[in-house]
Amino acid sequence: MSESPVPALNNKKSTVLRARRLQKRYDDNIVLQHIDLDIVEGEVLCLIGPSGSGKSTLLRLLATLESPDSGVVFFHDTPLGIVERGGNLYTAPEKIIRQQRDRIGFVFQQFNLFPHLTVLQNVMLAPRLQGQRGKAEDKARALLERVGLAHKADAWPASLSGGQQQRVAIARALARDPALILFDEPTSALDPELVNEVLAVMTDLAATGITMVVATHEMQFARRVASNVAFLDKGHIVEYGSPQQVLDAPQQPRTRAFLQQISSLRSEAEHV
């Protein structure tokens, strides 16, 4: 019997998401290789790495917005793909997979709000689709309050600043009652003066124990908020550990070079 590609699951209850041996390629370009990750309840994992290192692709695989070429993502121990068990190929029932996927929120770099819906309607959409019709509006208003935008409920997305649109996108992700929220460089598209309002909302979420994976170039945020930091380089996780380990005492030359580059870009920007 061939060895299973997936290591035996341990039954640690608090593991929200587990990725095993993920690999992804686009044509000849191998974008991710040998990715193993465990994300436990309440953890904030920051993904850092150079442009093109595979952060966005990894987030899309974790959210099952795309499928890996091999390897599998488990969400609360449910495989969201095909695994080998006892020598047979196994997939969870489609309904179960859908229910699990619904509990993964995603916040995109470019906000991706629906332009033809008001702010309130954007946030109400998920609870409505989940059949919470009666409660959807109250829930959406409470979430807008939570991100400081209750007064913008009836506004159109295009009338908001980028920072406000991203806060609405966070409220929309929260409306799914997610067990995990994935953030893909949520402040990269923002003018510098709008970055902090979004990071403040994310810091509050982390403090309430929401499990998050955040691809980011905001090292101060990672230092303050992350439980763990993973440094991706050319599709591999080459360094992983606490923010102090990875950001203050990196072991790998590539991590050191990347952090120096980021910090010199930052000081150049401050002197313009």
The sign one gets for the Cα dihedral 12, 209, 225, 194 is positive
153 is written with which tokens? 């409920």
Binding to ligand ATP by residue 53, rule CB under 6 A? yes
Please, what is the minimum distance in Å from the beta carbon of residue 108 to ligand ATP? 11
Shortest Cβ distance from residue 67 to ligand ATP (Å)? 12
Nearer to ligand ATP, 55 or 172 (CB): 55
> What minimum distance in Å lies between the beta carbon of 13 and ligand ATP?
31
Considering beta carbons, is residue 55 or 176 the nearer one to ligand ATP? 55
Longest Cα–Cα distance in the chain = 63
Cβ neighbours around 134 below 10 Å, total:
9
With CB under 6 A as the contact rule, which of the stretches 51-59, 142-150, 172-180, 195-203 interacts with ligand ATP? 51-59
User: Which amino acid, residue 83?
Assistant: V
Sequence letter at residue 117:
L
What is the 8-class DSSP label of residue 246? Answer: I
Identify the burial level of 98 via C-beta atoms within 10 angstroms of its C-beta, where 0-12 means exposed, 13-18 middle and 19 or more buried.
Answer: exposed
Q: What angle do CA 35, 82, 71 make, to 5 degrees?
A: 15
Residues between 223 and 262 that touch ligand ATP (CB under 6 A): none
* Identity of the residue, 57 or 255, whose beta carbon is nearer to ligand ATP in the bound complex: 57
Considering only residues 15, 57, 216, 228, which one is a binding residue for ligand ATP as defined by CB under 6 A?
57
Minimal distance, residue 215 CB to ligand ATP, in Å: 6
Report residue 66 as tokens. Answer: 């795309």
The site that binds ligand ATP (CB under 6 A) totals a number of residues, namely 11
**Selected binder of ligand ATP within 23, 56, 64, 110 (CB under 6 A):** 56
CB 80 within 8 A of CB 74: yes
C-alpha 67/C-alpha 70 separation (Å) is: 8
Touching ligand ATP, residues 7-26 (CB under 6 A): 26
Q: Which residues contact ligand ATP by CB under 6 A?
A: 26, 29, 31, 49, 51-57
